[in-house]
Chain A
């Protein structure tokens, strides 16, 4: 497999952003976010590329990737489902919903289903506690007041999508 490379447009975006900071090292978080968006995860090959683009040692990239929980070094499922289980969500049924989802998928929190479709994670407070329990899917919009019916629908839709993609 050839080494990953950012698109020209991305590289230009990065250089535009570089002008906003006194030092290039500040680009690390934004560029890692871009890399994860483009490549799905930030494995060592991607980290090497990021180190080169930002102009810092690989070690500095690794240190950041492993410190911040949103960066992942390995691929996750097609749907990443993250359940907040902190205090306000917990007293609003978050663990029951997490258990329900895991049982339905036959996995434990932190695991990915064998078909590669779902990764379920327990996460810390998402900062939307009035909507407890709160769930975030694929680092996208929040689902507030999540319930079993919503979980069922999400699972069903994801499976249907995958089937359609396979059929194509």
Chain B
């Protein structure tokens, strides 16, 4: 049960996750699932009211970009004469991120209720959950929950006699990181390779089959029920101004207790790592922390006290992103980590923009030869040059994500790269 007093709230989307069998509708109902949607339907709550509450809540997208959810919703034209679609982004693929998986496998009805309320607010009758193909078990759990919801009359035609129709379809991806980018996701559901679209037009105006489409992350949608239950003002009191609510931090790497920790935004990096994740395994402090997933610029010791908010991380030159926190201690070979991430982006580049298609390959190859001891003195400069010329010069942000770890390595730890080059064949 989430406390009424917002200052006491520690968890929202994982609040029911530890209750056994929560994925079953009967158990979920005992713990309040579908009650908010039930009230919305019974009272015929005007869609604008819901959008206004979400705006007032200050909720920002939990997928990575941190865009205000209510504002995104308000971009949907009211008079397009076309159907509006909702895509729930469950293509959790940003290295280090594993939060949506826990919402889906432990409390699927929370997500479904969030989708239902959002659909009501947006006038959506067909919603899709785009889940990464590897999440086979999670897709099955979701489908079972959806089937139960249909049987109980929470989904389908004329739900509870309200006249409102809603279908939710699970759509599995097939192993392409880029499909987490919202326009690539739409392309993928249209049955195409996931190549991001040029924007504008933004999906809210022209998305799925050129119809208005809202794409929201799992954690974002799972936050909607409590916002509508308690009100936007209530949610806005949790966390920090402009960075409201709770956030799941997925902590992994070199910590003693890796896992998902949902906490109010503004918790310090130190508290997250030491009090929740058990601290680093070797030494006393992390050598590097990659906040926000692998695409986020690295943080070092000087940022250990930073409050984890969208704005504080942006100010520090990094980003909160998906809330993934990869912790690297003294035992880690940072050059090798940068190489591994470069290899990831080279594999995942969709190939349509030259700076990204070619640049990611160059970064991976150069770092690869440095790791193998075949680097040259020019490599350090070429790396920085190539990375700097990729970021911001492509349709989507994958190139920026690819550049971030490389630039972090060469700018924060040039001596490590240098040693690898000079030390070769010595």
A residues lining the B interface (CB < 8 Å): 17, 20-23, 25-30, 32-33, 54, 56, 60, 63-64, 67-71, 85-88, 90-92, 123-132, 136, 139-142
Q: Tell me the smallest distance from the CB of A79 to a CB of chain B, in Å.
A: 16
- B290 at the A interface (CB under 8 A): yes
Q: Which among A23, A90, A127 is the interface contact of B93 at CB below 8 angstroms?
A: A127
Contact A70-B133, Cβ < 8 Å, known A25-B192, A124-B348, A132-B258: yes
Q: How far is the CA of A28 from the CA of B328 in the complex (A)?
A: 40
Interface hits, B179-210 → A, CB 8 Å: 188-194, 208-209
Q: Tell me the smallest distance from the CB of A90 to a CB of chain B, in Å.
A: 5
Q: Tell me the smallest distance from the CB of B305 to a CB of chain A, in Å.
A: 24
Contact A64-B193, Cβ < 8 Å, known A20-B169, A87-B253, A127-B134: yes
Q: Tell me the smallest distance from the CB of B402 to a CB of chain A, in Å.
A: 13
Chain A contacts of B176 at CB under 8 A? 67-69
Count of B residues near A, CB < 8 Å? 58
Decide: A68 and B174 in contact? CB cutoff 8 A: yes
Q: Tell me the smallest distance from the CB of A22 to a CB of chain B, in Å.
A: 5
Decide: A69 and B95 in contact? CB cutoff 8 A: no
- B55 at the A interface (CB under 8 A): no
- B101 at the A interface (CB under 8 A): yes
The 14 sampled A-B contact pairs (Cβ below 8 Å) are A20-B167, A22-B83, A26-B190, A29-B191, A54-B191, A63-B192, A68-B133, A68-B173, A87-B337, A91-B331, A91-B337, A124-B348, A125-B96, A136-B134
Q: Tell me the smallest distance from the CB of B403 to a CB of chain A, in Å.
A: 16
Chain B contacts of A128 at CB under 8 A? 98, 101
Interface hits, B138-175 → A, CB 8 Å: 167, 169, 171-175
Decide: A27 and B341 in contact? CB cutoff 8 A: no
Q: How far is the CA of A54 from the CA of B294 in the complex (A)?
A: 37
- B254 at the A interface (CB under 8 A): yes
Decide: B173 and A29 in contact? CB cutoff 8 A: yes
Q: How far is the CA of A28 from the CA of B191 in the complex (A)?
A: 5
Q: Tell me the smallest distance from the CB of A89 to a CB of chain B, in Å.
A: 9
- B216 at the A interface (CB under 8 A): no
Q: Tell me the smallest distance from the CB of B163 to a CB of chain A, in Å.
A: 20
Interface hits, B92-121 → A, CB 8 Å: 92-98, 101
Q: How far is the CA of A124 from the CA of B133 in the complex (A)?
A: 12
Decide: B341 and A87 in contact? CB cutoff 8 A: yes
Q: Which among A22, A60, A69, A123 is the interface contact of B209 at CB below 8 angstroms?
A: A22
Contact A141-B137, Cβ < 8 Å, known A70-B175, A124-B348: yes
Q: How far is the CA of A164 from the CA of B10 in the complex (A)?
A: 53
Q: Which among B126, B169, B252 is the interface contact of A88 at CB below 8 angstroms?
A: B252
Q: How far is the CA of A20 from the CA of B126 in the complex (A)?
A: 8
Decide: A64 and B96 in contact? CB cutoff 8 A: no
- B6 at the A interface (CB under 8 A): no
Decide: A70 and B258 in contact? CB cutoff 8 A: no
Q: Tell me the smallest distance from the CB of B166 to a CB of chain A, in Å.
A: 12
5 A-B pairs with the lowest CB-CB distances in the bound complex, closest first: A68-B174, A28-B191, A129-B252, A67-B193, A69-B175
Interface hits, B54-109 → A, CB 8 Å: 83, 92-98, 101
